[in-house]
Amino acid sequence: MTPIQPKKLLLTKWTARKAVAKEKHFIVTKIVDPDDVDGQTDLIEIEAVFSKRQQRLSWRELQDETRWQRGWL
């Protein structure tokens, strides 16, 4: 997998390897900026396409190929 850059994740599409509550397809809707000036971006907000439910998670979790796959499949 190619390296993920957190600043370029906005509006990217992701597929969960295992669907939970019929939610399998997600889109990154927001990159959460850190509160302090020196901090690096750690959190993103993803939205389920089916239910529009939003959740926050670390962008590093998207690198886990057993849980996430880039694009919609």
d(CA 56, CA 44): 6
d(CA 34, CA 8): 16
Residue type, 35: D
- Phi/psi for 7 (5° steps) reads -75, -15
| Exposure string over 8-44, b if 16+ CB within 10 A, otherwise e | ebeeeebeeeeeeeebbbbebeebeeeeeeeeeeeeb
Predicted confidence pLDDT, tens digits, the chain (73 residues): 678 888 899 999 999 999 988 999 999 999 988 776 566 778 999 999 999 999 999 999 999 999 999 998 8
Per-domain residue ranges of the chain: 6-36+43-70
pTM of this prediction? 0.86
